Amino acid sequence: MIQAHNLSLIFQDGQLSLPVLQGIHLHIERGEWLALTGANGCGKSSLIRTFNGLLMPSAGSLTAAGLDLRSPINRKTVKERIQLVFQNPESQTIGSTPAEDIAFGLENRGIPQTEMQDRIEVLLGKVGLAQKAGDDVSTLSGGERQRLAVASCLALDAEMIIFDEVTSMLDPIGRQEIFSLARDLWKQGTTVVWVTQRMEELSESPRIAVMEEGKIIYDGDPRSLFYASPLPDKLGWDLPPVLGIGRLLQSQGWAKENLPLTESDLEGIL
């Protein structure tokens, strides 16, 4: 789905050159779930914006959905196939009701009018907003607006959805709603890049990439990251209790593959 080789991105601030991305190598397979993390300002948002052509890399090669992003026509195509869901749902709602918001993408795709209403209903049902089709979007909760953004991405038949720290401003219900929705889409074949600072979300991801100062410093599975790598300590992460207990068990001689990553893993052990 994404093939990045030696990707670099430099921002110019007057005379100053700020390296935002440096020598990024990353392959994301179709249907994969990749969690991306790193401290504030490490380049996560810039990297994901290169994936759908919003930012052009300064050097290196980048192929998304099989298309070389150096071509402007390819970038235009990729923008529809790889969708971004931002932290702030207000800035991605175009319509003033959920139905209108989804319809905007369908209109642009030239979907026949007779089909449009059915599609809107299916998409709203998919994200659990069927009862709110005609509500004013400003009355939706944060989680509901994020789910609406996902439905609008799906209206474009997106092959890959990038979630950029979408849970950071949400309450527990909103967080659970959007995370569950992303998991369901992934299980149905959508490629997902999940950008997060939350350890609980990382430990539920099959693959994690960690960034620091514009570079990917780890790319692998969660068990190796949390139980075999010095990175969590080096980066000053506060591990959630499940991983803390896992490390305790590890110190008592447990093998890495038996250690828990989630609370349900832990229930199986304890």
Residues 148-177 that bind another protein (CB under 8 A): 152-153, 155-156, 165, 168-174, 176-177
Q: Which of 70, 184, 220, 228 is the binder for another protein (CB under 8 A)?
A: 184
Near another protein by CB under 8 A, which window of 1-9, 63-71, 75-83, 209-217? 75-83
Burial state string for 95-131 with b = 16 or more CB within 10 A and e = fewer than 16: eebbbbbbbebbeeeebeeeebeebbeebbebbebee
Q: Which CB atom, from 218 or from 254, has the smaller least distance to another protein?
A: 254
Q: Which of 46, 50, 83, 191 is the binder for another protein (CB under 8 A)?
A: 83
Binding residues for another protein, total number by CB under 8 A: 106
Q: Which of 6, 17, 61, 108 is the binder for another protein (CB under 8 A)?
A: 108
Helices (H), the chain: 44-51, 72-81, 98-108, 113-126, 142-154, 172-187, 199-203, 222-228, 231-234, 241-251, 263-269
Binding to another protein in span 189-228, by CB under 8 A: 197, 199-200, 203-206, 222
Q: Tokens 């250690």 identify what position? A: 259
Cβ at position 8, least distance to another protein in Å:
21
Do the beta carbons of residue 38 and residue 44 sit within 8 Å? yes
Q: Rounded distance, CA 130 to CA 120, Å?
A: 9
Q: Which of 140, 166, 195, 211 is the binder for another protein (CB under 8 A)?
A: 140
Q: Which CB atom, from 4 or from 182, has the smaller least distance to another protein?
A: 182
